[in-house]
Amino acid sequence: MVSGLINENPIVYERKERRDVRTDSSNTNELSVDTIDQLEVFDHIRDIKDPEHPYSLEQLKVLTEDSVEVDDSKSHVRVTFTPTVEHCSMATIIGLCVRVKLMRSLPSRYKIDIRVAPGTHATEAAVNKQLNDKERVAAALENPNLVEMVDECLSPSFE
Amino acid sequence: MDLMEKNLELLEVQKLEGHTDRVWNVSWNPVSSHAHGTLPILASCSGDNTVRIWEQSSLSRSWTCKTVLEETHTRTVRSCAWSPSGKLLATASFDGTTAIWEDLGDEFDCISTLEGHENEVKSVSWNAAGSYLATCSRDKSVWIWEVLGGNEFDCAAVLNGHTQDVKMVQWHPTMDVLFSCSYDNTIKVWWSEDDDGDFQCVQTLDESSNGHSSTVWAISFNATGDKMVTCSDDLTLKIWMADISMMHSGEGYAPWTHLCTLSGYHDRTIFSTHWSSDDIIASGAGDDAIRLFVDSKHDSANGPSYNLLLKKEKAHEMDINSVQWSPSKENRLLASASDDGMVKIWQLETKL
């Protein structure tokens, strides 16, 4: 059993200023309403809570706007996240949370690829392979304990 | 008859709706879909924990769902396979069990449940004689079951060797040789030399044998069984061959060698591939497209090569998990299953 947290003292960053969707002038353009861009995808995932600490993935700089690469014409999104420590055993949980949030938020035509930032994790290839094996993800999401953990990370915190 | 010269297209015959979650696999009944005068039957299995049996009506020619096999598997049903006699259907599930169903005409009866795997069962396959069943799982093992009379199934072997999740098992079409492919990027061949039920791994096709560099999702043999095609997360299809006449004449094991790699045609994982009885290779991939390939019949110094016959883009609205040619020789019917919850029937026809 793990006695302590993986990362006892995470660095917490300020949250980036958010775009107010209601007053943003770019939203008045008919065409842009339907195209999904980098900020919109980031907005879906920035508030996902870290499984171990009471902070969001944005606050821990696990995710930034640049984590997201979108090609709406190809219905493709790739998210690259940076675990706080190299041996983070929570990497697959974090990746799974990001995938689930995007699956629930983006149109079903979207292809989603998740990976850890190159060089930031000891077993990078193994983590990436698991996160992108659709059958493994499907089986994992039939595990009630895992789903409970994911839902907890995805649930909004009220501040 | 050179297929490349005919102007062919894949026409959607019908969209079969009913499943309430992604459809993982489809299987044509080998007898009713093949025999002249009987109607084709198709089984599909899904993340909704059920199996649906679809039948074509003789009057309207349209397909309807004849039965739903439910309340048995408690999790996703990942794979289904009809026995060679067409009377039994095996269904493999994430719940760790493989159910055997008997077609009683009006309904299906679950006559047996095979237990033993430690976690999700991914695939099930019957041998040509219907005397063996094989299953594989995320527990890294391949199990062989003997089909005894009276609805009895006995575990004949537990085969260890793969170092990761085993994705599919497929018996050779004419010999009792079993093939498995895995998340460990390899294909393994299992054979009982003395035919006494003692199966051993006689070959492993890995990167050093010109094999795949990522998860291998499926295996399919041509009708004569001297060639096979495999598909992978590495975005390629690979064609393999063996001198099986050597095996038929009892001269020992004939190893499989790499013949050709089809690369540059897919940009997302290829989840399924199936070799038709008239030599058309179909692939179903994560880009929602179905592709058909044929032997170019122009041998070069590098050996045979294959050409893309056609690409059906947006065949489904989401990933394609399974493609299967109907065994019928009368028409070129293809069934496909997708994450979008649909099963589709296609017909390969000459463009008018």
> Chain A residue with minimal CA distance to B233?
A133
Contacts of A108 in chain B (CB under 8 A): 317-318, 340
| pLDDT value at A159 more than 80 | no
Chain B residue at shortest CA distance from A75: B287
Instruction: Determine which of A24-28, B225-229, B333-337 has the lowest per-residue pLDDT on average.
Output: A24-28
Residue A74 lies in a domain: yes
Q: Is residue A1 part of a domain?
A: no
d(C-alpha A80, C-alpha A102), whole Å: 13
**Nearest CA-CA distance, residue A36 and chain B, Å:** 18
Q: Which residues of A touch B183 (CB under 8 A)?
A: 129, 133, 136
CB B233 to CB A133 under 8 A? Answer: yes
Distance CA A58, CA A47 (A): 7
Higher pLDDT, A11 or B314: B314
Q: Is B185 on the interface with A (CB under 8 A)?
A: no
The least confident of B158-167, B204-213, B292-301 is B292-301
Nearest to A142 among B76, B165, B317 (CB): B76
pLDDT tens string A119-152: 999 999 999 999 999 999 999 999 999 999 999 9
The verdict on residue A5 lying in a domain is no
- Any domain includes A56: yes
| pTM over 0.90, yes/no | yes
Residue B228 clears pLDDT 80, i.e. is over it: yes
Task: Provide the domain limits for residue A119.
Answer: 35-158
* CB-CB neighbors (< 8 A) of A135 in chain B: 78, 122, 167
Q: Is B241 exposed, middle or buried (0-12, 13-18, 19+ CB in 10 A)?
A: middle
Of A23-37, A120-134, B28-42, B99-113, minimum mean pLDDT range: A23-37
> CA–CA separation, A18 vs B287, rounded Å?
33
**ipTM of the modeled complex:** 0.95
Please indicate whether, in this complex, the C-beta atoms of B340 and A108 are within 8 angstroms of each other. yes
Is A17 inside any structural domain?
Answer: no
Chain A CB contacts of B318 below 8 Å:
108-109
Nearest CA of chain A to the CA of B204: how many Å? 21
Tokens of residue A18, six digits:
């958010």
* A118 inside domain: yes
A111-116 and A76-81 beta bridge pairing? parallel
Tens digit of pLDDT for each residue in B76-87? 999 999 999 999
Q: Is the pLDDT of residue A98 over 80?
A: yes
CB contact under 8 A, B214 and A129: yes
Q: What is the number of CB-based contacts under 8 A between chain A and chain B?
A: 35
Which tokens belong to B222? 């041509």
Q: How many domains does chain A have?
A: 1
User: By CA distance, what is B213's nearest residue in A?
Assistant: A129
- Tell me the nearest-neighbour CA distance from A135 into chain B, angstroms: 9
Contacts of B46 (CB under 8 A, 6+ apart): B19, B20, B21, B22, B23, B24, B52, B76, B77, B341
Rounded CA-CA distance B181/B17 in Å is 30
Kindly tell me the burial class for residue B65, based on how many C-beta atoms sit within 10 Å of its own C-beta (0-12, 13-18, 19 or more).
Answer: middle
Which residues in chain A have Cβ-Cβ distances shorter than 8 Å to B22?
Answer: 138
Cβ neighbours of A136 in B, within 8 Å: 138, 165, 183
Whichever domain contains A139, its CATH number is 3.30.300.130
Q: Is-contact B225 B243, C-beta < 8 A?
A: no
Which of chain A's residues have a Cβ under 8 Å away from the Cβ of B317? 108-109
- List, for residues B163-216, the tens digit of each pLDDT value: 999 999 999 999 999 999 999 999 999 999 998 889 999 999 999 999 999 999
**Whether A139 and B138 lie within 8 Å, measured CB to CB:** yes
Residue A43 lies in a domain: yes
The answer to whether the Cβ–Cβ distance between A142 and B317 falls below 8 Å is no
- A134 and B268 within 8 Å at the Cβ level: the answer is no
For residue B319, the chain A residues in CB contact (below 8 A) are 134
**Does residue A25 carry a pLDDT above 60?**
no
User: B66: closest CA among B88, B79, B78, B51?
Assistant: B51
Read off the pLDDT of each residue in A51-68 and give the average, rounded to a whole number: 95
For residue A15, what is the DSSP state?
P
Distance from CA of B337 to the nearest CA of A (A): 15
Segment among B2-16, B45-59, B219-233 with least mean pLDDT: B2-16
Interface test with B, best of A78, A135, A142, A147 (most B CBs within 10 A): A135
Region A23-41: mean pLDDT is 68
- In the predicted structure, residue A27 carries a pLDDT above the cut 50: no
Domain annotation covers residue A146 = yes
**Dihedral of alpha carbons A8, A9, A10, A13, sign:** positive
Task: Tell me the pLDDT band of B32, cut-offs 50, 70 and 90.
Answer: confident
For the record, the structure tokens of B285 come out as: 């991939």
